[in-house]
Structure 1
Amino acid sequence: MLPTDLLLFRVKAGLVEPRRLKPTTLNLTLAETLIGTFEANVGKRRFELDEDLRTLEAGRQDFKVLRGLAHLLSNMGTFEAGSGVDPVLARERVFTLAQGVVPGRRQAAAVLEQAARSLSTDGEVSGEALQASLYADLPDQQTLVAFEPPAPLELIHRYDLAQAQGQLYRATELVITARRNEPARYKQLLKYLKFFGLMATVEGDASYGFSLTLDGPASLFSNTTRYGLGMAKFLPALLHVTKWDLSATLKPRKDLAWVDPGDTEWSFQLTSEDGYVSHYAPPSEHDSALESGFAERFAKLDTPWTLEREVDLVPVPGGVILPDFRLVNGDRSVLVEIVGYWRPEYLRKKFDLLRKAGRTDVIVCVSERLNLERAGVDPSDFGERLIWFKGVLNPKDVLALAEQYAVATG
């Protein structure tokens, strides 16, 4: 993520185009130099690092690029108060003892020595060490204690993505069209939507894709960018979806002299073909051993049915269901939900959403190990579409119900 003053972009006919760095030798060398500067400053205080960075940017016309890259690298480092004494305690003790003392160099040294003795029992704290601790928690006095260096190309990818993320700070609406995707991608989208506190309206179907509409911060909270930051942090998760388009409506930046004062809104467009790279870990193919075991056993069957992993988003009032599997045979399909997780609140929410969906093409598979009665869940209204299993789920049992409850996909 980059602060607003380091976002570089242009606007052509109302369309925002973020600055991107080409992986040229010049840019890769700059990235490598900055990474090396941070590595050389491990164990030093932030003001020393800042001095080295100012030396690097001196005379450069692209100093904002350098600052942007350095900002991202700072987030990859760990800065701590490099002192053996808590700075808050040190200030409290020194300022208390200094009350009524006539200012002077000799008097100040005496106060420091007195405070140091009061803070140590065996003389391990000196006056000089205490003086160094007084403001060690201030940002420029903190020490870079650890740094995980990225590869130069990785840093450039992070920079490009951060420039794109920054455009979403002022979004009034965000529409994502997610087409047929690889397994587990939709589930990750929903997980990150929830994690970042984003609200989405979902429409569409598994055959043609889904449209997710998110209201932005400018339409909900006029005085805060918190929701916009959530949208920006969500973007790297979207990159793991294999086929998608993003369209955002932005509130124009009026603080920039070159912006047309007559602009009422800007548009920002991205697709899965734009070449941005996510730094979020890709999702695992299966969420549990139950699901992976079921998929493995199904693969051994000789059947005209095809098992698809998490390809269907089912909108329901108050949420979205993402069934674990979809079984497809020609133009007929049925959804499969495996319930093996035991937490009562999870079970209540799961069955409540399944009930609200009102879908008759969902087969619900429930482990006998679950105490649904204790969780306050009554699954009887799913009738014959309910499968109880002990230990492992037999794909043949699911296929038997699939023949009975599958519906035409067209």
Structure 2
Amino acid sequence: MLPTELLMFRVKAGIVEPRRLNPTPGHLTLVAALCGAFEAHVNDKRAQLEEDLRALEAGRSDYRVVRGLAHLLAQDHAVFETGGTVEPGTVRETVFSLAQGQPPSRARSARILEDASTRLGLGSAEEALDLLYADLPDQQRLVSFEAPDPVPLLQRFELAQAQGVLYRAYSLIITAHRNEPARYKQLLRYTKLFGLMVTVEGDADTGFTLTMDGPTSLFGSTTRYGLALAKFLPALLHVTRWDLTAAVKPRKDLAWVDPSDEEWSFQLTSEDGYVSHYKEPQEHDSALESGFAERFEKLGTPWTLEREVDLVPVPGGVIIPDFRLVHPDGRSVLVEIVGYWRPEYLRKKFELLRRSGRTDVIVAVSERLNLEKAGVKTTDFGERVVFFKGVLNPKVVLELAERMAANS
């Protein structure tokens, strides 16, 4: 993430366009110079590093590019720590206690630092002086640095610029079309992780529309919610086909902004070339699900097993069934596997399944679960519940799918 003062964008006909940063020879040279500065100052104070960084940006019209790349290097690739064997707060307390009531002078200051050094078991007055404010950011030391490859760093810079636009978003609409396995579930997990309020509509064939309220509509200019929207963007990049439209509150603090602008639009698609730094989702969430998929492949059935391709909108939430069984004649059944989990999770899971009103969902439940203790009843699901021990037998699930599809 980048601070607001390092964001670069332009507005054309009400459309916000964040700064892009192609891997030109000039930009690659700049990255190499920045990494060289960090490497040269390992074990030095941050203030010394920042002095060299200021020298690199001197006279450059793109100084914010230099600062932005340096910010990302410090944030993601460098480790700064407070040095010394004694906490700076303890050093300050000792020094200030010794100095209390004494008029300031250079000689007295030297004696106080000597006394503090002795009391704290330090090697010298110079060490005490060095530790006095060692916890301030510019006094922390760079203890390690791992230089990234230049191209991913430039990509990270571009994404950070796009994320920064969302700081001021107050309406976010995403259309996620039919996608690769596991992408939908990761998308919804990140909305929950970052505390985003989302409404989901649509289906797997026509695409799902996710509508999110942004910071302005909910809490005025609440930076915290805008930051959550920005953190969500890298997760969206793992979805293979999507488009995004955000309504953004204009920045009136910029001299070049038209004061009559009431709203800007920020638009992205999966074709825009942004690259996520978040880890890609695994194909299966658990050994239980992957084992079921492997055993199903050996059945030799005309039914096919698709992984997490449906979002089922439910008042107050969304269900993403683990699998969909599809027959060549068009019949289909959803499969939700409920393995071992916490009682709170079980209650919410079954409540969402019940409220969905869907009668085409097979619910496979491990017999290891203490549903009674969790306050969960399966009677609402009738014959659509399959209990299993250890592993889930795909033949049993397929037989039930045949019966359900025949009755639908």
TM-score, normalization by structure 1:
0.97
Deviations 1:117-176 (A, max 9, x none): 2222xxx44221111100001111111112232110011000000010000000010000
Give the match for residue 67 of structure 1: 67
8 A contact 2:336–2:361 mirrored in 1: yes
Deviations 1:207-241 (A, max 9, x none): 12100000110111114211000000000000000
2:89 match: secondary structure: helix
Percent of residue pairs bearing the same amino acid type:
70
Specify whether residues 190 and 197 from structure 1 end up closer, same or farther in structure 2 by C-alpha distance, changes over 3 A only: same
CA–CA distance in structure 2, aligned partners of residues 224 and 401 of structure 1 = 50
> Which of 223, 226, 233 is matched with 2:224 structurally?
226
8 A contact 1:85–1:130 mirrored in 2: no
CA–CA distance in structure 2, aligned partners of residues 342 and 280 of structure 1 = 26
> Which of 278, 283, 296 is matched with 1:280 structurally?
278
Give the match for residue 166 of structure 2: 168
Offset of 1:296 from its aligned partner?
0.4
1:78 match: secondary structure: strand
8 A contact 1:184–1:286 mirrored in 2: yes
Give the match for residue 2 of structure 2: 2
Give the match for residue 289 of structure 1: 287
Give the match for residue 106 of structure 2: 105
Give the match for residue 86 of structure 1: 87
CA–CA distance in structure 1, aligned partners of residues 45 and 66 of structure 2 = 20
Is the aligned partner of 1:394 residue 2:389? no
Residues 338-357 of structure 1: matches in 2 within 5 Å?
Answer: 338-357=337-356
CA–CA distance in structure 2, aligned partners of residues 258 and 29 of structure 1 = 31
Give the match for residue 299 of structure 2: 301
Specify whether residues 238 and 107 from structure 1 end up closer, same or farther in structure 2 by C-alpha distance, changes over 3 A only: same
Offset of 1:408 from its aligned partner?
11
Give the match for residue 383 of structure 1: 382
> Which of 182, 185, 188 is matched with 1:187 structurally?
185
Deviations 1:331-377 (A, max 9, x none): 22111000112311111111111111111000000111111112111
Is the aligned partner of 1:37 residue 2:37? yes
Moved over 3 A (4+): 406-409
CA–CA distance in structure 2, aligned partners of residues 11 and 280 of structure 1 = 28
CA–CA distance in structure 1, aligned partners of residues 344 and 332 of structure 2 = 30
8 A contact 1:253–1:259 mirrored in 2: yes
8 A contact 2:168–2:221 mirrored in 1: no
Offset of 1:319 from its aligned partner?
1.0
Is the aligned partner of 1:19 residue 2:19? yes
CA–CA distance in structure 2, aligned partners of residues 407 and 66 of structure 1 = 64
Give the match for residue 53 of structure 1: 53
Letter in 2 for 1:26: G
8 A contact 1:119–1:125 mirrored in 2: no
CA–CA distance in structure 1, aligned partners of residues 164 and 407 of structure 2 = 43
8 A contact 2:88–2:133 mirrored in 1: yes
Which has the higher mean CA deviation after the structures are superposed, 342-351 or 187-196? Answer: 342-351
Specify whether residues 105 and 379 from structure 1 end up closer, same or farther in structure 2 by C-alpha distance, changes over 3 A only: same
8 A contact 2:340–2:368 mirrored in 1: no
CA–CA distance in structure 2, aligned partners of residues 78 and 394 of structure 1 = 50
Offset of 1:407 from its aligned partner?
8.6
CA–CA distance in structure 2, aligned partners of residues 332 and 339 of structure 1 = 23
Q: Which runs of 5+ in 2 are unaligned?
A: none
Which has the higher mean CA deviation after the structures are superposed, 196-205 or 218-227? Answer: 218-227
Offset of 1:196 from its aligned partner?
0.6
Alpha carbon RMSD of aligned pairs, Å? 1.4
1:161 match: secondary structure: helix
CA–CA distance in structure 2, aligned partners of residues 194 and 148 of structure 1 = 32
Q: Which runs of 5+ in 1 are unaligned?
A: none
8 A contact 1:361–1:407 mirrored in 2: no
